[in-house]
Structure 1
Amino acid sequence: MSLLAVRDLTKAYGPHRVVDVAAFGLEAGAQVALRGESGSGKTTFLHLLAGILAPDAGRIELAGRDLASLGEAGRDRLRAETIGYIFQTFNLLQGHTVLENVELGMAFGRGVDRAHATALLRRVGLGDKLAHFPRQLSTGQQQRVAVARALANRPKLVLADEPTGNLDARNSREALALIREVCREEGAALLLVSHDEGVLSQFEGVTDFTQLNRVERPAAS
């Protein structure tokens, strides 16, 4: 069953076209990685899929709805109800506890469910850190909070932008395994972008974004 279908998607900043994707799709429950170097447009592509950015043209059909045709409020609502996002820099709120960070993610979706938030944090190994603040956690533990927050609203799709980029090799392997396992348990599809071949090698399905994206990049000097 198709969860995500992209057609003729474009985004430019001034005269510079950043994204130009003719077609891309993702099945429900699938786990796919996009290979892309810095500056290839992959983060912009994810932001378009998440409804954080509006495209200049094209269609993004997510769970049967055309995201690209919605206004800002409609995109925000669909994103909150359907998409979980794991940022490279985690984007945790430093003035809030671990539990509050996950609950705040819920507030924009179906509503706060403290029992579910607590269960997710226990699932990612942070059951004893609920009242801690992000600054009191290791980098790997902060990543686990970000994973729990992304899954808090039971999304159909999780987007992960270089989610292991700030982790060492051991924590990177553990975080990736956790992300994939929790997505499977929750029934969420996963689209992950990375330039790390160690991360990409863990996926059966890997798409090279520089081939998917029709934007011509300047030749190396």
Structure 2
Amino acid sequence: MPLLTVQNLSKAYGPHRVVDVPAFALEAGAQVALRGESGSGKTTFLHLIAGILAPDAGRIELAGREVAALGEAARDRLRAETIGYIFQTFNLLQGHTVLENVELGMAFGRGVDRAHAEALLKRVGLGDKLGHYPRQLSTGQQQRVAVARALANRPKLVLADEPTGNLDTRNSREALALIREVCRENGAALLLVSHDEGVLGQFEQVQDFAALNQASVP
């Protein structure tokens, strides 16, 4: 039984169909990259999987539960407990410290575990930055906070949306290696979307989003 299955999933904005995916599956612990250009609908696809957006039609089953059939509160709870999301822009709260950013992510899931938050931040090389604010960190360090926050609730699935898009080549390579390693250590599946061939080339499993998404067919 795959961790994630998608069937006949569709989403449109007005007359413009963005996502039309007949079938997709992801096994527990797998690490898969989706190749897609900007504007191809891959971010919308991740948002649908995460329950951030509601589909127009179709079925998303995650860890044995149908996401689209849940009410908003139940969907939020499933996302908090089952999914870690790494955004391209990091989405860190500027008025909170590094440690508080990770703890706030925990607050929406199983509850705050300061020892676990500190251990994760040490694992990503930020053990001496717990009291710093995002503005005091380099871009690469902010990405590491985002990785720690995404893993804080011990998710079964990590979604990564162009997670290295704001990093230089060296930091991009290091961040990607870190994301993959921490996911393996925590037993989390990883679904990453990118248009960067340097990123995609580091994955053993790469799928073209255009081949999955019939909305991309003229």
Q: Who is 2:39 aligned against?
A: 39
Give the drift of 1:71: 1.4
Give the drift of 1:180: 0.1
Q: Does 1:205 align with 2:205?
A: yes
In 1, distance between residues paired with 2:65 and 2:150?
21
Q: Who is 1:135 aligned against?
A: 135
Matches within 5 A, 1:71-110: 71-110=71-110
In 2, distance between residues paired with 1:216 and 1:155?
30
| Pairs aligned (count) | 218
Q: Who is 1:16 aligned against?
A: 16
Q: Who is 1:58 aligned against?
A: 58
SS at match of 2:155: coil
SS at match of 2:38: coil
Give the drift of 1:216: 3.7
The amino acid that maps onto 1:114 is R
In 1, distance between residues paired with 2:108 and 2:55?
22
SS at match of 2:115: helix
SS at match of 1:215: helix
Unaligned runs of 5+ in 1: none
The amino acid that maps onto 1:117 is A
Compute the TM-score of the two structures, normalised by the length of structure 1: 0.97
In 1, distance between residues paired with 2:204 and 2:69?
33
Give the drift of 1:93: 0.1
In 2, distance between residues paired with 1:124 and 1:216?
37
In 1, distance between residues paired with 2:82 and 2:15?
32
Give the drift of 1:211: 1.2
SS at match of 1:19: strand
Give the drift of 1:217: 5.5
Compute the TM-score of the two structures, normalised by the length of structure 2: 0.99
**Segment drifting more, 159-168 vs 207-216:** 207-216
In 1, distance between residues paired with 2:181 and 2:39?
29
In 2, distance between residues paired with 1:153 and 1:217?
38
Q: Who is 2:188 aligned against?
A: 188
1:98-130, CA deviations, whole angstroms, 9 ceiling, x for partnerless residues? Answer: 000000000000000000000000000000000
In 2, distance between residues paired with 1:49 and 1:18?
14
1:179-210, CA deviations, whole angstroms, 9 ceiling, x for partnerless residues? Answer: 00000000000000000000000001000001
In 2, distance between residues paired with 1:70 and 1:37?
31
Q: Who is 1:179 aligned against?
A: 179
Runs (4+) off by over 6 Å: none
Unaligned runs of 5+ in 2: none
In 2, distance between residues paired with 1:36 and 1:68?
24
In 2, distance between residues paired with 1:200 and 1:88?
16
In 1, distance between residues paired with 2:94 and 2:152?
19
SS at match of 2:215: coil
The amino acid that maps onto 2:40 is S
Q: Who is 2:170 aligned against?
A: 170
Q: Who is 1:111 aligned against?
A: 111
What is the aligned-residue identity percentage? 88
Q: Who is 2:122 aligned against?
A: 122
In 1, distance between residues paired with 2:38 and 2:217?
12
